[in-house]
A = this chain, B = another copy of it.
Amino acid sequence: MAEIRHALTMKREDDFAAWYQEVITAADMAEESGVRGCMVIKPWGYGIWERMQRLLDDRIKATGHDNAYFPIFIPLSNFEREAEHVEGFAKEMAVVTHHRLIAGKDGGLVPDPEAKLEEPLVVRPTSETIIGDAMARWVQSWRDLPLKLNQWANVVRWEMRTRMFLRTSEFLWQEGHTAHGDEAEAREHTLRMLEVYRAFAEEDLSLPVVAGEKPENERFPGAVETWSIEAMMQDGKALQAGTSHYLGENFARASGIQYQDREGKQTYCHTTSWGVSTRMVGGVIMTHGDDDGLRVPPAIAPHQVVILPMLRDKPEDQALIDYCEVLRAALAEKCALNERVRVLLDTRPGKAAAKRWDWVRKGAPVVIEVGGRDMENGVISLLRRDALWNVENGKPAFATPTREEAAETIPAMLEEMQTVLHAEAKERREANITRGVASVEEVEAFYSTDEKYPGWVEVQWSKPTGEALEQVVERLKALKLTIRNVPVGSAAPDGACIFTGQPAAERILLAKAY
């Protein structure tokens, strides 16, 4: 076993946070914008988000939702209607107070006092209240239900501490909003969309997730129930990767979403909302990245195969490009994961070896290099991003199939990689969930060892509420832990609550979290 010289400076095991930042820079995904808390999403990062959008949008449309678009500005008074909602969001909103600038005393621009808005406008942190207004107009009769909408949009939540993709003042997301005639249907829909998220995460992002209900203290402001999918990052922390809320009649009453039922009675709707954001890109990085950079699951890779002819700025380059173009064209005709293979022939200036490592750091699933000798022999040199190194000699594990073999085998290789990344992440997660921890002291001991990335623990609790729950939350907070969720499909509880000693009501997952 030879030593491997990895493509990144930082290693996950040394400093996970610094490694995360290095991946983002090395893979050229995003950067600070200079505007407080806002990032610039660069082409490779945005390309991954576009792929996620396309795949999730298909799933959202397949479950009967239409996309629509609602104003970015929400009148302040809208927020005053739902008490918990405003309590949850008022602390972190961007407020528009003027609609014009004029020259100030020192020659610079200042907001024009003459152009002060009568009612300030809030830049949407989420759209329940403004979409609720529209639903109140659109829903009249039971025939108008269910009303199933989705919006792709930017939202703003003023964050004090930001981290790229994970927590930024502006972020991109989809927010689904539905109105139903009764509670049962709305609750069922909340879970259906949770399942859409679970399938999207596992199948499209190769991201194993735990679906479950959030405890009361972690509910969306104004929700009756909040469900989440939780993913384990390679440092053992949890990332909430998507949420689905059953909102009861709360927002329907606040916005007046009523319908005439089959008996002619005016009835409040039951609503749901659910969202997934660019935060998911951070989850992909922290799940699939390695010490050589990002590894993008093929389903969401903007380019699945990158072909690099080893150009020398000489006339014979053209023959090499032509040789590569035949492979590019052959691959572009093939299908993998139900779509045409996305293949890039990269002929930009630069040395092939430098470009190879750029694409490795970016996480392109398959990188192909072709030099003059390869061409003479009718072969290509192929690197699989999920099996980059020959551990025997510490060198990149190039395979050298013929050009025709490559065209034939790469589609299946991409599909396999999609599965391999999922299996690898799932195995790691399972190895890092510790079950049967039976007291708060044990929990404390578990998180006090030298182990750097201890993972999650499953405990049983009596599901306390109110004051009793607050005490639990405070005890966990002292350990920097939070309750992630109550996993769907857990084994039945069979012991005592580790907090109250009472008979346990359910199993919950505890973890440090992003």
Contacts and interface: CB of A to CB of B under 8 A. Distances in A.
A93 B73 CA distance: 13
A473 B111 CA distance: 31
Interface residues of A, number: 65
A335 to B, nearest CB: 15
Contact of A71 (B35, B108, B149): B35
A102 B93 CA distance: 11
Interface string A77-102: 10110000010001111111111111
Interface centre among A79, A109, A170, by most chain B C-beta atoms within 10 angstroms, is A109
A33 B130 contact: yes
Count identical subunits in the complex.
2
A97 B98 contact: yes
Interface string A353-397: 000000000000000000000000000000000000000000000
Binding site of A, secondary structure by majority: helix, strand, loop or mixed? mixed
A454 interface: no
Contacts of A49: 69
Contact of A99 (B50, B92, B348): B92
B95 A111 contact: yes
A229 to B, nearest CB: 24
A133 interface: yes
Contact of A35 (B68, B73, B137, B158): B73
B76 A349 contact: no
B97 A111 contact: yes
A76 B143 contact: no
A35 B102 CA distance: 24
Contact of A69 (B91, B120, B172, B348): B172
Contact of A93 (B34, B99, B154): B99
